[in-house]
Structure 1
Amino acid sequence: MTSLPLTMMALDPATAGEPEILVPVERPVPTPGPGEWLVRVAAAGVNRPEIMQRQGKYPPPPGAPSILGLELAGEVVAAGDESGAAMIGTNVCALVAGGAQAEYAIVNAGHCLPVPPSLSLIEAAALPETLFTVWHNVFQRGGAQAGETLLVHGGTSGIGTMAVLLGNLFGLEVIVTAGSAAKCEAAKALGAAHAIDYKTQDFVEAVKDITGGRGVNLVLDMVGGDYLPRNMKCLAPDGRHVSIATQGGPKATLSIIDLMVRRLTLTGSTLRPRDAAFKAALCADIRAKAWPFVEQGKLRPVIDRTFPLARAAEAHAHVEAGDHVGKVVLTIG
């Protein structure tokens, strides 16, 4: 086996700041421990949490590397114990708590999915963060069932496009909001049943019209703030609301009476701080129920643009501007 280098290039800014601080720096190649693999990274996704970490608003959880990046794809080149020896030389994609935006990264063996031959490593790198998030929040926490209606805000984001794709595969009618007519058309081209331009339409009234006044069964919300009471107006009786981010603010005022009378459920989650056992169980559920669609070529991420690691500042700026449709990916290996 070819010997591994001692150092690598990585995105590990010393201070918070604007995208311009993202200059690759030299760091030691990490060493895998028991139950871990070392991956030579071919590509890594760029997501909102990394933007927030770079800005100093979302520090990595205890024990996670300070190097940016929550998802990656590449070749397993070393294992921390004999149980992983058979995986050396295979391609995997993985969800990580940090460290993906580097030439090498440590992954938990239980948080990896095999990359099928039909999928490029760039596509594979764009899957874990959104797939894990949408699967847990829409299907596990939100309890989505075939025949139900789902409202997704940010319908052309990485999360939004994944929700549309998974929703279609599992029999949901997906309604999205987006910030322009062009983005609405892009969402419908991906399979959204309806797309609402929130800049020109009141999405509450639009949902009422689309559903004949019934409302939706489930809302996946990454806005928060004053969207929460408006989302509640969109819910049918016994509807569920799942919060996954607070881009519009962390506080809201709502009617508890309305919650009681219409038997609504409000829930939410954050994935990054969850423990390894939870993520492994989530990964196993995805592999059993959703990954077959990836292997069959029926589920592929929407890739907006790719950037080499040296142009990470441009990648972050592009995501921060919100002009992308789907995922932005850094190519590394």
Structure 2
Amino acid sequence: MILTGPAGRLARRPCAGCCSRIDGDAFDAAIGGWLMGRAAASRAADQDRNPPARPVRAAVAVDGKSLRGAIRADGRCVHLISALRDDGIVLAQREVDARSNEITAFRPRLDPLDLTGAVVTFDAVLTQTDHAKFLGEEKEAHYIAVLKGNHPSLHALVKVLPWREVPLLDRTRATAHGRDEIRRLKAATVPRLPFPHADQALQIVRRRRTLRTGKVSIERVYAITSLTVHQANIADLAERIRGHWAIENREHHVRDVTFGEDASRVRTGGAPRAMASLRNLAIGALRLARWDNIAEGLRHHGRDMTRPPAALGLT
């Protein structure tokens, strides 16, 4: 497909053959660096116009996503691990090697980022003592880490805390994708938790009701955080947790539904990762241009060939 670009130049849609030869690490570093620079400038301008009442800690969520249509010769899907801002902008991305997993990709993905003072959130598979030490001692960052069966003793210890005696500190309700969900959050300071830098234990109760069928499910999730009660109030904790779970809606859902990522059969070399990187760039640029509905933003920019360069700061 050939398009006419600014000043009469020809612009081509990226092809799988070209993308397969791209250095994925360098490409992601360039895109992540550009997005971080633009995001920092945008946030600074917002804070100049509306200074926050108190310092706000940056939020970075680490999460993995499989490209279900990109199946290698060994039958394995291409799997990516990303670091995202709380608004869904991807700051860094890395492909998980076939002989490895998300755990070993965690540190290399976060190492280049300045995380000083930030709060990093991640799911149970990434709740590892080495990750907590890395964040607290090398990156000078905090974490909120979900607990499940991969830490059975710690999970059991947190689960049996007297949660009935802990007051409910936060309750939120949201409706999306055919479900009505209520989340309740409790937090308790627990001295000498057997996990590096852990200070508080959290209980999140999620009550979901399927609107079409009326079916109700209740899930209790436990987590730990290095943040003390003096470093983050309950509203901060609730916002960070909501921000992490919102990844499914703000990033994964957009890539799958709006861009058809899981339906893509691009699978040669580094092409699946490069195409995912370009989707990240498009989503990030539109988010920075204040588009909350990415599909609507794409339609708007597709109607006028001068709009995409302007959104990317090229004019």
TM-score of the alignment, normalized to the shorter chain, above 0.5: no
Higher Cα Rg, which structure: 2
More helix by share: 2
TM-score, normalization: structure 2?
0.29
